[in-house]
Structure 1
Amino acid sequence: MSPYSSGPIEPRQTGPGAQRWVLPAWRAQEMAERATLWQVGRRQLILLIVALLVLAGLVGRIAYWQIWQHNLLAGRADQEDLRAIQIYAGRGYILDASGHILALSVTEDEVIADPDVLRSADALDNTAATLGQALKLPESLLRSELDVPGAYVAVRDSKRQVVLLSVQQSDQLGKHIDQGDLPGIALIPVVRRVYPDGNLAAQALGFVRESDGTGQYGIEQQYNKLLSGQPGVLYTAVDAAGDPLATVPQQQTPAIPGSNVTLTIDANIQYWVEEGLARTIKQMDADGGTVIVMDPQTGAIMAMASQPSFNPNRYANASLVDFINPAISDTYDPGSVMKAMTMAMGINSGVITPDSTYVDTGRTVIDGITLHNWDQIAHGKLTMTQVLQYSANTGAIWAANQIGNVRFSGYLRAFGFLQPTGLGLPDEAAGRRDQSSAQDLTTAENAFGESIAVTPLQMVMAYGALANGGTLMRPYIVSNITPGNGQGPETRYGPQRVRQVVSPVTAAEVTQMLVESASKSEAQMNLVQGYTIAAKTGTSTPDITNLSDTFASVVGYAPASHPRFVILVKLNHPRATIFGGSAAGPLWRALARQLLIYFQIPPEAGMPAGAP
């Protein structure tokens, strides 16, 4: 039998009396080989399963990062390779009523130097000479500016102002830099707000802070968001030095330019007002003053000026107090200009007429306090028109007594006092009444403009109501806002009626009273020949022990038959003369003459030129 063929298992004797079955050798070898093969296959299966599990883990991990964490990885990559560069939006213009530019932004270069590079290249002397020639500055000054420790300094002039280059200077230095003649020197563009007319309307405009481009005070602050626009963003790949790669595609969110704001202010009138105010303050040895010109039919502010003021191009050199607009933020006791309001209250209430009379004894006692006429004179029997002519305090007190405390207080608010006007500029004051005295005394003193604090604009509004048939208009200084990119609707502002304070008949009667009294009083409005002028003077001395602490003013409108403008002239503490007519009157008349010519208003019928 073949040793490889299957056969019976042969029994084998292993001991006395014992018999045991034994496998053939070939069968035992076959079974051992099969066991070995099974063990090898098992190991391979285990390895395969482990490999598959590892592969699945890798695939899952790759999917996790590539799919679920894609945005995170892309963002991190962009942070490494991309830079977000802000694109300047371009601040909008501020213009006057005729489109004359009052404020704009320009881009100029400043010179930045790296002193370490200059020293390492031994180029201090040559650089100072080249810059000196281009900038018209002494080489010694520039060398001292450049030879300082550290890196990156801005070149400054002898007044320590950062040097801003003209277009020609930028081109000249740019060529030197490109040619390698100025190592360590770079030109950095700087956006700067410019006010072409300097001080003109500075307190109405405000300024833009250089450090962050934010509007401060006035129009620049009130409309900062609209003027600023919305900056854009440029996403660009950069090299290892952080410089943009021009060959790489860029992503950009375009900037939205700031809106242009057009004012109701007329730059010509504003100039005449400011020039005349500065001259008058000097002549009258006053501490300052305010002038406002308003259209009574609409409430549009045509000019608003105060002194002291500042140059918004050099705002860092100004005092903080000069940034505030006294026309809307400062209050004062108006004095006798308030008597026109008192007469209007009484006539509209039906308790007095222009011809009502009382006997002026020169003084009156209210709540135990004796109040005098400003001139200490007893004028005898006076009509209400004559009360305005002589500016008799006792006559205003008599009229206020007929009106009564409650009604008088109501009319004060109706005329716009004791509350902001709503002009739309920051930091507007509301005014206040003296609450320390008894009500009767407060009303009596308010009747002739004492113990009540008002802003110049509030007083202009009140006279504007008389000039406008008794209708109070809300003052406004912005006429329209236009999107800088030319897209979107234009926003327009216009006349807004507040309330009917007194009837048209009352307004006309008070206007005639002012015309008659102004032509015969110290106001000397008869000197504005060919036109009827409705005006009143005021002289207030809050502290009777200190006559130098005086406010002198004139408020009025013209032509009285159809008013085109209201003018307020107010001087703070004049010393040459303290009275409203003699201190503020000359400027008021001069401005009125200029405006009558400027608006081409012909002389009134029955009032030929040359006659009062």
Structure 2
Amino acid sequence: MRESGGRGQGPGRGAGGAGSQGGPGAARRTPGGPGRTTRQSGGSGRGGPSGEGRPPSQEPPRRRRDPDDPLDLPFGPEAFGPAGDARGRSRGDDRPAGRRRPRDDDDAGPRRAPRDDERPRGRAAQGRDDDGRPRGRAPRDEADRLRGRVQGRDDDRGRTARPGGAGRPGPAGRTGSAAGSKAAGQPGGKARRPGDEEPRGRGQDGPLRRTPSGAPRGAAGAPPGGPRGAAGARQDAARDRDGAAARRTPHSGSRGASRGGDVPPPRGPRRPPPRPPLVLRLGNPRRRINIGLIGMTFVLSIFAGRLIQMQGLDAKVYEAAAAEQRVQTVAIPAKRGSITDVKGHYLAVTREARDLSIDPTKVPSGKRAEVASVLAQQLGKSEQEIAAKLARTDTRYQLLARGVDPFVATRLLQAKIPSLAAKKTYRRDYPAGDLAGSLIGFVGDDGTGLGGIEREKNELLAGRDGKMRVETGRDGQQIPMTSSEQTPPVDGRDVRLTIDRDIQWAAQKSIADQVKKSGADSGTVIVMDVQTAQIIAMANAPELDLNNWRKAPESSFVNKAASVVFEPGSTNKVITAAAALEAKVVTPDTVYRVPDRIKCADQVLRDAHSHKTEPMTFRQAMAQSSNVATVMAARKVGSERLHAMLKAFGFGSRPGGGVPGAEAGLLPDYKKWSGSQNCTVAYGQGVSVTALQMASVYQTIANGGVKIEPQIVAGTTDEHGRFVPAPPGKQTRVVSETTAKEITTMLESAVGEEGTGQLAAIDGYRVAGKTGTANRYDAELGRYDGYTASFAGFAPADKPRLVVLSVLQNPKNGHFGGQLAAPVFKDVMTFAIKSKKIPPTGSAVSPVRVGAGQ
């Protein structure tokens, strides 16, 4: 293996190791000597007495370099010298051996690298060797190899040297460094040849200086080759070691050797350097300022980013959100249309009003009792109710009253009650109170019709609300001078009914009195115009008070005249008579031998009163309301034709004309009739109708057999307020005019002296009508219980103008229709004739055959 020192290799080096090429540890070529000087131990030329060299037997053979070979680089053993010096001699070392440039930092401790302006000029000063290559640089492979050796030397530096100064074998396979022993004057150092100059390097204490006599001296002024004591050698070695450690550069591969400083001999395990004393360091203000600036920059960048997001990216979103909070849409209620009678009298009207509300949290607790007393007195409410609302401090809104009169609201606002607010609105008034209450219906708090005409014509009456977009503040008040968008409301249209207020009042009073007198559950009266089928009056008892509908029972919300279904009884016999006459199976003068009872299937049917079997004309049977004679005529007609006639008169179908709550009744298919039902249907048991349907039957007979759909609405107003009459009802011929006249004569006989409806007769007027008494089916009990008493007729009989129907449900004081319902008919018809100014015809009743023997 090669023993050249290389570039500062580890402890395996021989002569203390040299630094990098051209560095402080490189040996320099003397002007006259052919050989190369080796570094002395300690790097200061203070080795043995005469700088003893290596014995000749230990000097390796030297190879001559081929100058013609470009790859023959001076990195072999001959390039480093026999002592393993780093790079051989430098061109700048041809000055005398005893002379070198004095340095100011010889005794100043660690040296610094000379600046460019301080370095000597020439090839030696520029750091180039004899071959022209830069000193201190080696090929990449050689540099890696030398760096590994230096690292190995560093690793082995702490090991104990063998006696005699020989170290353990290093990475290069050489013996340990003998520099330390040479520095102490021990044999083993390489002898200096005559003519060789003293080695120079940065690893020494300093550049060699010449004495006044011209001999080179060390840094301390001693002759280079003079003997020195062991203590001096140790001091020099320690100084060289410190200087080499201080002069390390990033290019050096090891501690001291790369800079040319000699490594002292190993002295066993290295002791850790003493810890520096703890020094209390004050904070660096610049560092604090920098940290603060960084923090402020970070925070401000967050604010700036958020600002960009809000003002730039999401500007439209926040603008819309702000507008949504600030801009409010306020509904402008439309004025609801009025409901009037046929003469224009108001039955339901809309007036301006106020809704009063209060914020209970703004009312002082000490004044709540006083405020409650004032509000209760003005609003017509109980003081306890108002006090309970004022005590609700968990909410900021309490509605005190709706539809308050504007004068009352103004008076309360002037009383300066805390946080009292009034909102403009409309209220529905019913000037007539309970007049036609269930027919007209009522309006809820939200302005929607909940019953009667109010619900049936709600869309027409309600109109269309407007809206206004305004900007409001936190307190809900409109911000002045701000833009607003307004859509004007469209007021509702007026509805004119066919009801005559006066006749309605008379009918309602008469049936209410009779219900009270007879102890009936309820009663109904309908007055209808014969020629137009317009309903002049539709009264119910008990009737709904529209101004206090919240306190009324739900049963009074129903318009019983059009919705309550019942079995008509004998009033239905006119349909059987019409079917028999139309089928020509009988004539008014057809005589029957009529017993007081008849068997039908498994049932025995009886007349209303007992009598012996007697001959009876069909007209007489109708006048006396004989069930047996009617069954006998119905058997000739047949169930199918009877069913068809019932259907033609409107049974089993809902009446048209817009009457609210109208029901269809019940008409079973004739194929499903039971054995007894084939007989009972003839006199009005086993089918169900409403009062409106039965009144329509008599209107058809009185109108010459032409049925007209009942009408309740006379007309409406258009958008300009002009009245537009409703179209007439649909007309349908049910029976011939001859049949209608024959039935009229039969009905006129029923009101005569031999008839059951004598109490319905009106002085001066010819009246045609029919009583009805039927078993009442109670749906709650699921069986028949009580009776239904009714009377239907028209006047004048020879020229009919009005039809009146009266019905009492479940009367307790009597149950016959001629006894209870006929008087109601008479009272209402008499008033209606006078109100309509219908004069008597003046014609006398035509003589007809009533009895079989006449």
TM norm. shorter chain > 0.5: yes
Partner of 2:413: 174
- Structure 1 stretch displaced more, 497-506 or 373-382: 373-382
User: Could you tell me which amino acid in structure 2 is paired with residue 174 of structure 1?
Assistant: L
Partner of 2:473: 239
Partner of 2:795: 558
The answer to whether structure 1 residue 343 and structure 2 residue 577 are counterparts is: yes
Partner of 2:344: 99
Structure number with the bigger relative contact order (C-alpha 8 A, sep ≥ 6) is 1
The answer to whether structure 1 residue 572 and structure 2 residue 809 are counterparts is: yes
- Give yes or no for contact 2:772–2:791 (8 Å, CA) kept in 1: yes
- Among 279, 288, 292, the alignment partner of 2:526 is 292
The answer to whether structure 1 residue 441 and structure 2 residue 676 are counterparts is: yes
> Pairwise mapping of residues 241-320 of structure 1 onto structure 2 (< 5 A)?
241-320=475-554
> Pairwise mapping of residues 16-415 of structure 1 onto structure 2 (< 5 A)?
75-119=320-364, 122-124=366-368, 127-128=371-372, 131=375, 146-152=390-396, 154=398, 162=401, 165-177=404-416, 182-210=417-445, 212-378=446-612, 380-415=614-649
User: What is the alpha-carbon distance in structure 2 between the residues aligned to residue 349 and residue 426 of structure 1?
Assistant: 36
**How far off its partner does 1:597 sit?**
1.3
The answer to whether structure 1 residue 585 and structure 2 residue 835 are counterparts is: no
User: Could you tell me which amino acid in structure 1 is paired with residue 727 of structure 2?
Assistant: G
- Give yes or no for contact 1:514–1:534 (8 Å, CA) kept in 2: yes
User: What is the alpha-carbon distance in structure 2 between the residues aligned to residue 361 and residue 304 of structure 1?
Assistant: 39
**How far off its partner does 1:476 sit?**
1.3
**How far off its partner does 1:125 sit?**
5.4
Instruction: State the Cα RMSD in Å.
Output: 3.3
User: Could you tell me which amino acid in structure 2 is paired with residue 78 of structure 1?
Assistant: A
- Among 687, 690, 695, the alignment partner of 1:460 is 695
Superimposed CA distance per residue, residues 454-485 of structure 1 (whole angstroms, 9 cap, x where no aligned partner): 111110011110000100000110111224x5
Superimposed CA distance per residue, residues 294-315 of structure 1 (whole angstroms, 9 cap, x where no aligned partner): 1121110111111233212222
Match of 1:276, SS? helix
- Give yes or no for contact 1:519–1:526 (8 Å, CA) kept in 2: no
- Structure 1 stretch displaced more, 573-582 or 238-247: 238-247
Q: Percent identity?
A: 31
- Give yes or no for contact 1:525–1:533 (8 Å, CA) kept in 2: no
Partner of 1:594: 831
**How far off its partner does 1:145 sit?**
5.4
Match of 1:584, SS? helix
- Give yes or no for contact 1:372–1:393 (8 Å, CA) kept in 2: yes
**How far off its partner does 1:167 sit?**
3.6
User: What is the alpha-carbon distance in structure 1 between the residues aligned to residue 640 and residue 477 of structure 2?
Assistant: 74
Match of 1:522, SS? coil
**How far off its partner does 1:264 sit?**
0.6
- Give yes or no for contact 2:444–2:450 (8 Å, CA) kept in 1: yes
**How far off its partner does 1:289 sit?**
0.8
TM-score by length of 2: 0.59
Change (3 A) 1:505 1:116: same
- Give yes or no for contact 1:299–1:474 (8 Å, CA) kept in 2: yes
User: What is the alpha-carbon distance in structure 1 between the residues aligned to residue 635 and residue 659 of structure 2?
Assistant: 37
Partner of 1:421: 655
Partner of 1:486: 720
Superimposed CA distance per residue, residues 84-105 of structure 1 (whole angstroms, 9 cap, x where no aligned partner): 1111011111111111111122
User: What is the alpha-carbon distance in structure 2 between the residues aligned to residue 505 and residue 600 of structure 1?
Assistant: 28
User: Could you tell me which amino acid in structure 1 is paired with residue 565 of structure 2?
Assistant: T
User: Could you tell me which amino acid in structure 1 is paired with residue 346 of structure 2?
Assistant: I
Relative to its length, the structure with more strand (as a share) is 1
**How far off its partner does 1:133 sit?**
6.9
Which residues of structure 2 form unaligned runs of 5+?
1-127, 133-307, 846-854
- Give yes or no for contact 2:771–2:817 (8 Å, CA) kept in 1: yes
Superimposed CA distance per residue, residues 162-183 of structure 1 (whole angstroms, 9 cap, x where no aligned partner): 4864443222222233xxxx22
- Give yes or no for contact 2:602–2:675 (8 Å, CA) kept in 1: no
**How far off its partner does 1:385 sit?**
0.7
Change (3 A) 1:240 1:296: same
Superimposed CA distance per residue, residues 235-293 of structure 1 (whole angstroms, 9 cap, x where no aligned partner): 11222433212311211111111111111111111100111111111111211111001
User: Could you tell me which amino acid in structure 1 is paired with residue 787 of structure 2?
Assistant: T
User: Could you tell me which amino acid in structure 2 is paired with residue 302 of structure 1?
Assistant: I
**How far off its partner does 1:65 sit?**
7.7
**How far off its partner does 1:134 sit?**
5.2
User: Could you tell me which amino acid in structure 2 is paired with residue 293 of structure 1?
Assistant: V
**How far off its partner does 1:74 sit?**
6.3
Partner of 1:39: none
Change (3 A) 1:75 1:228: farther
TM-score by length of 1: 0.81
- Give yes or no for contact 2:759–2:818 (8 Å, CA) kept in 1: no
The answer to whether structure 1 residue 515 and structure 2 residue 748 are counterparts is: yes
Match of 1:410, SS? helix
User: What is the alpha-carbon distance in structure 1 between the residues aligned to residue 379 and residue 643 of structure 2?
Assistant: 65
Superimposed CA distance per residue, residues 208-246 of structure 1 (whole angstroms, 9 cap, x where no aligned partner): 112x22211211111111111111110112224332123
The answer to whether structure 1 residue 500 and structure 2 residue 733 are counterparts is: yes
**How far off its partner does 1:444 sit?**
1.4
- Give yes or no for contact 1:405–1:440 (8 Å, CA) kept in 2: no
Match of 1:255, SS? coil
- Give yes or no for contact 2:657–2:729 (8 Å, CA) kept in 1: no
Match of 1:345, SS? helix
User: Could you tell me which amino acid in structure 2 is paired with residue 480 of structure 1?
Assistant: G
Change (3 A) 1:222 1:163: closer
User: What is the alpha-carbon distance in structure 1 between the residues aligned to residue 645 and residue 384 of structure 2?
Assistant: 70
**How far off its partner does 1:490 sit?**
5.6
- Among 767, 774, 779, the alignment partner of 1:540 is 774
User: What is the alpha-carbon distance in structure 2 between the residues aligned to residue 205 and residue 468 of structure 1?
Assistant: 28
Superimposed CA distance per residue, residues 132-182 of structure 1 (whole angstroms, 9 cap, x where no aligned partner): 6756888788656534543446576xxxxx4864443222222233xxxx2
Change (3 A) 1:511 1:138: closer
- Give yes or no for contact 1:91–1:257 (8 Å, CA) kept in 2: yes
Superimposed CA distance per residue, residues 42-77 of structure 1 (whole angstroms, 9 cap, x where no aligned partner): xxxxxxxxxxxxxxxxx9x999989xxx7x776445
Which residues of structure 1 form unaligned runs of 5+?
1-13, 19-58, 157-161
- Structure 1 stretch displaced more, 231-240 or 445-454: 231-240
- Give yes or no for contact 1:408–1:443 (8 Å, CA) kept in 2: no
- Give yes or no for contact 2:368–2:390 (8 Å, CA) kept in 1: yes
User: What is the alpha-carbon distance in structure 1 between the residues aligned to residue 376 and residue 836 of structure 2?
Assistant: 52
Match of 1:550, SS? strand
User: Could you tell me which amino acid in structure 2 is paired with residue 94 of structure 1?
Assistant: I
User: What is the alpha-carbon distance in structure 2 between the residues aligned to residue 535 and residue 404 of structure 1?
Assistant: 25
- Give yes or no for contact 2:342–2:499 (8 Å, CA) kept in 1: yes
User: What is the alpha-carbon distance in structure 1 between the residues aligned to residue 381 and residue 682 of structure 2?
Assistant: 63
Which entry has the higher C-alpha Rg, 1 or 2? 2
Change (3 A) 1:80 1:141: closer
Change (3 A) 1:130 1:594: closer
Change (3 A) 1:185 1:315: same
Superimposed CA distance per residue, residues 319-366 of structure 1 (whole angstroms, 9 cap, x where no aligned partner): 222211111111111111111111111111211111111110111122
Match of 2:751, SS? helix
Relative to its length, the structure with more helix (as a share) is 1
User: Could you tell me which amino acid in structure 1 is paired with residue 791 of structure 2?
Assistant: V
User: What is the alpha-carbon distance in structure 2 between the residues aligned to residue 251 and residue 73 of structure 1?
Assistant: 21
